[in-house]
Amino acid sequence: MKVKVFVFNPFQENTYVISDENHNAAIVDAGCYNATEVALIKRFVDDNELKVKYFVNTHCHVDHLLGLNLLKSIYNVEAYAHSDDLPLLKTFPQQAMSFGFSVDKTPEIDKIVADGNTLLLGDGSIGIIHTPGHTPGSICLYLQNEKMLLTGDTLFYRSIGRTDLPGGSYDAIIRSITTKLMVLPDDVAVYPGHGESTTIGDERRSNPFIKT
């Protein structure tokens, strides 16, 4: 599996395209906000002859959802998210307005995923790890065979997701990280929702919020 990152919108959000050797692809956290950003993803998909199979949202904050409607209209595939973030999704227009984004309608989530579920992508698989704290329905995506972990806004390079927004909980995010992420091998690569990549081992040793 390959992971391609795009940095989109004023929040510098990381949108990921996961693809396998047979050109099957999934788009994670479609944060592309304007026509130029949407065109970047489409060009990458077209140039690499990728077949987009589905979208996944690690959580339902506006900066991770901005491009979902546009990309769904292009690729006509379903979007997945955790049910605990559906109440947050309903506040999408208010979230957008508060940050000055112009949006037409709230994106639709078509299928629900839960802790322990597996999403298939060609012959590969993506494990769902429910990591509440940043939001109630935050999830991480674990590609075990490739030793890759997409953490959304749960775990960052030397930091963690903020917990002062509605539905956030500091105790919950620390519990999620220590009991569900820090049990993974040191050499698992971490691809967060903002900022640079890291590894589980590096964060275990150097992240000031983590005590294991």
List the one residue out of 79, 25, 73, 23 whose CA is nearest residue 52. 25
**Whole-number Å distance between alpha carbons of 148 and 164:** 28
Mean pLDDT rounded to a whole number for the chain: 96
| Cβ–Cβ < 8 Å for 165, 152 | no
For residue 99, being part of any structural domain is answered with yes
Q: How many CB atoms lie within 10 A of CB 170?
A: 15
Q: Which residue has the tokens 């999403």?
A: 119
For residue 40, being part of any structural domain is answered with yes
pLDDT tier, 191 (very low <50, low <70, confident <90, very high otherwise): very high
pLDDT at site 18: 98
pLDDT at site 99: 84
pLDDT at 79 over 70: yes
For residue 211, being part of any structural domain is answered with no
For residue 138, being part of any structural domain is answered with yes
| Cβ–Cβ < 8 Å for 5, 23 | no
Strand duo 159-160 + 189-192: pairing: unpaired
Paired tokens of 107: 């994106």
* Structural domains counted in the chain: 1
Report the alpha-carbon angle 192-195-197, nearest 5: 55
Report the alpha-carbon angle 163-80-196, nearest 5: 50
pLDDT at 103 over 90: no
pLDDT at site 211: 80
pLDDT at site 212: 61
Paired tokens of 116: 């322990």
For residue 188, being part of any structural domain is answered with yes
Strand duo 111-113 + 118-121: pairing: unpaired
pLDDT at site 51: 98
Which residues share a beta bridge with 79?
55
**pLDDT (tens digit, 9 = 90+) per residue, 107-137?**
999 999 999 999 999 999 999 999 999 999 9
Greater confidence, 39 or 98?
A: 39
**pLDDT (tens digit, 9 = 90+) per residue, 22-61?**
999 999 999 999 999 999 999 999 999 999 999 999 999 9
Q: Domain of 54: which CATH number?
A: 3.60.15.10
Q: State mean pLDDT over 12-24.
A: 97
Could you list the residue range(s) of the whole structural domain that residue 72 is in?
2-206
pLDDT at site 23: 97
pLDDT tier, 20 (very low <50, low <70, confident <90, very high otherwise): very high
Give the predicted TM-score (pTM) of the model: 0.96
For residue 82, being part of any structural domain is answered with yes
Residues of the chain with pLDDT > 90, as a percent, come to: 92
Could you give the angle at which helices 68-75 and 35-47 cross, rounded to 10 degrees? Answer: 40
